[in-house]
Chain A
Amino acid sequence: MAELFTGQARETPDADLAAAVGDVLGIVLPPPCVPGVAANVRLLEDHLAVLDA
C-alpha cells in the first residue's frame, strides 16, 4: 500500500494513491474517483511541501 503525503505522490500511480486513500477511509474508491483523487493527493502534497519549506 502506498504511503500518503510523504513526498512520493508524483512517482506513485493513480491506482495506488486511490487505493491508499480508500484504505484510510475504509472503502474501495469507485473507479470514476481514481484519477481525480490521485491528482488531488498530489496537489495537497505540493501544498504540504510549501508549508514545510
Chain B
Amino acid sequence: MISGAAAIAREVRAGRLRAVALAQQALDRIAAATDLLAITRTLADRAMREAAEVDAKVARGEDPGPLAGVPYAVKDLFDVAGLATTAGAARLECADPAGADAEAIVRLHAAGAVLVGTCNMDEFAYGFVTDNARWGITRNPHDRARFAGGSSGGSAAAVAAGLVAFALGSDTNGSIRVPASLCGVFGIRPTQGALPTTGTFPFVHSFDTIGAFARSAQDLALVDGVLRGDAQSGPCDFAPALLGGWFAQDLTAEMAAALAEFAQAIGPLPTVEIEGVAQARSAAFLITAYEGGRLHAPALRTDALSYDPATRDRLLAGAALPDRVHDRAMAFRAVFAARVQALLDRHGVLIAPAVAGPAPLIADPVVRVGGRDVPARANLGLYAQPVSFVGVPVVAAPLAVPGLPLGIQLIGAKGSDRALIAYAARLEAQGLLRVTPP
C-alpha cells in the first residue's frame, strides 16, 4: 500500500490512484483503530467532497496540487468550518462552529490535501501526555499501554499508526517534538511566526507555533513547503554539535546509548553547553503559566469547574502570577537567546534528545528528573522547553533504534527550517534516522 504523502500525490496526479478511494481507505483505517483514540472526530462528508474535487481536477487535466488526494488530520485546535473547535475541552464541545477553516487548512486544501479528521490533545494544549477529561488518553501505537506524548499526541499517533499520511499539530513548549519522539515520527516546530496561526485556538502567544508530523523527512518537507508557501530546500552544510550539560542529564540508559551511537556515526561531535538552561526552562514554565492563565482567567472566574481539573488548577495558579514575574522571564529570554545564537553561528545545528527515553507507561505516569519521580504531564518537555523558549526551529526525528521509539531534536537558527529538514533527510538516507511501523 502506498502511504507516504509524496508517493500518494504523485500517483493521484498521474491518475493512477483515485482520491476518493484513498479518502475512504483512510476513514476505514480510522474506524478500525478507535482504541488508539488518536482521532476524535471523523469528517467523512468533507473528506469525500474534497477528494472528489481532486479527482475531478485530474479528470479535467488540471493540476490538483502537490498534496493531491493525501489524507491528513489536524489537532483539534485548528478551526474546521462548521465544526466546534474544542481544543480538547468538554466545555467547548457545544461552542459555536467555526465560520471558516484555519489558514493552514486553507493552504493544504489549495494543495489538494484531504482532511479526514480531528486529533486528540491535552486540554487547551497544557500537557505532554494527551489525556483529557472529555475524550480520554491517546495510546501509543507502538505499545498501547504507553502514552503517545502531547499535547499533539493524537496527531503523532495517527501518523505513526498509518491512519493518515501527515497531520498538523501545535508546539508551544514541545507539543510536536515530544509526541513525535515518543511515537517515532518526524515533526517540526518551525521558526516562531513562520507559519500562520490564524484560526487556531491560542495558548501562549509568546511561544505558540503550528507544524506538521510525517513518516519521512521528504514528506515533512513537502507539507512544510505547502504551509510556508515556499518549497525550496535549504543548504545544510552544518558542523553539528551535541548539547551536553542539562541535555545529557536524566537520560535513560537506552537513550544515552542511542544518542552516543548516533553522535559517533555522524561525528565524532563536539559537545557544547549553554549556560542557564535550568533558568530557561523555568522561565518558559512561568511565561506559559502567566500567559495561559490570563487567556483563560475570564472563563475560570465564572466556570472553573467546567475545565479538566488537571488543566484548571495549573491555569488558576498561573493566572495569579504578577506581571513582574513575566517581565523577569522575558528579560532572561533575550539573554538566553543570544547564548543559543552564538552556538548556532558556530555550528549551524545543535543536537539534543527530545525526551529522556521511551514513552512512559500510562499506569506509571512519571519521569525521573534529578533522582525524583515527577509527573510526566508537566515534565516530558524537559529538553524541549528550553529550546522553544527562544523561538528557533527544531526538527524532531526518530533515531534508527530497535524497540520503542527514541527521538532527537535538530535545532537550527531562525529561518533555517528548510535546511534542518534537508539535513534530517540526509541523515534518514544514511540510515541514522528511521520511522519504524508499529
A positions within 8 Å CB-CB of B: 4-5, 20-21, 24-27, 29-30, 32-33, 36-37, 39-41, 43-44, 47-48, 50-53
Closest to A36 in B: B313
* Chain B, range 319-338, C-beta contacts under 8 Å to A: 319-322, 325, 328-329, 332
Docked-complex contact B304 and A33, CB < 8 angstroms: yes
What total of A-B pairs shows CB separation below 8 Å? 80
The interface bits of chain B over 296-334 (1 if a CB of A lies within 8 angstroms of the residue's CB, else 0) are: 010011001100011011101111111001001100100
Asked if B278 lies at the interface with its beta carbon under 8 angstroms from chain A, I say yes
Nearest CB of chain B from residue A20's CB, rounded to whole Å: 7
Binds A, one of B45-53, B281-289, B351-359: B281-289
Docked-complex contact B279 and A21, CB < 8 angstroms: no
Docked-complex contact B316 and A33, CB < 8 angstroms: yes
For this complex, 6 residue pairs linking A to B, each with C-beta atoms less than 8 Å apart, are: A33-B309, A33-B313, A47-B283, A51-B279, A51-B283, A51-B286
Return chain A residues, CB-CB under 8 Å to B281.
50
Kindly list the 9 A-B residue pairs having the minimum CB-CB distance in the complex, ordered from nearest: A36-B313, A40-B317, A47-B282, A50-B282, A24-B320, A21-B320, A51-B282, A47-B285, A41-B317
Contacts A20-B320, A44-B321 supplied; 18 other A-B pairs, CB < 8 Å: A5-B325, A21-B316, A21-B317, A24-B319, A24-B320, A25-B319, A25-B320, A33-B313, A33-B316, A36-B313, A37-B316, A40-B314, A41-B317, A41-B320, A47-B285, A51-B279, A51-B329, A51-B332
Nearest CB of chain A from residue B333's CB, rounded to whole Å: 11
Docked-complex contact A48 and B301, CB < 8 angstroms: no
Docked-complex contact A29 and B282, CB < 8 angstroms: no
A30 to B300, CA, bound (A): 10
A47 to B301, CA, bound (A): 25
Docked-complex contact A48 and B317, CB < 8 angstroms: no
Return chain B residues, CB-CB under 8 Å to A20.
320
A5 to B281, CA, bound (A): 18
Return chain B residues, CB-CB under 8 Å to A27.
301, 304
The interface bits of chain B over 255-288 (1 if a CB of A lies within 8 angstroms of the residue's CB, else 0) are: 0000000000000000000000011011101100
Closest to B324 in A: A5
A5-B322, A30-B304 are contacts. A44–B317 as well, Cβ < 8 Å? yes
A43 to B288, CA, bound (A): 13
Nearest CB of chain A from residue B433's CB, rounded to whole Å: 33
Nearest CB of chain A from residue B321's CB, rounded to whole Å: 6
Nearest CB of chain A from residue B250's CB, rounded to whole Å: 15
Return chain A residues, CB-CB under 8 Å to B378.
43
Return chain B residues, CB-CB under 8 Å to A44.
285-286, 289, 317-318, 321
Contacting A40 at CB < 8 Å: which of B300, B305, B316?
B316
Return chain B residues, CB-CB under 8 Å to A24.
319-320
Query: Which of A21, A33, A40, A51 has the largest number of chain B CB atoms within 10 A?
Result: A51
Nearest CB of chain A from residue B431's CB, rounded to whole Å: 40
* Chain B, range 52-73, C-beta contacts under 8 Å to A: none
Return chain A residues, CB-CB under 8 Å to B328.
51-52
A53 to B146, CA, bound (A): 36
Return chain A residues, CB-CB under 8 Å to B321.
5, 44
A49 to B101, CA, bound (A): 42
The interface bits of chain B over 78-122 (1 if a CB of A lies within 8 angstroms of the residue's CB, else 0) are: 000000000000000000000000000000000000000000000
Docked-complex contact B316 and A48, CB < 8 angstroms: no
Return chain A residues, CB-CB under 8 Å to B310.
36
Return chain A residues, CB-CB under 8 Å to B301.
25-27
A41 to B356, CA, bound (A): 26
Nearest CB of chain A from residue B185's CB, rounded to whole Å: 30
Return chain A residues, CB-CB under 8 Å to B304.
27, 29-30, 33
A40 to B192, CA, bound (A): 28
A51 to B286, CA, bound (A): 9
Nearest CB of chain A from residue B82's CB, rounded to whole Å: 34
A43 to B301, CA, bound (A): 22
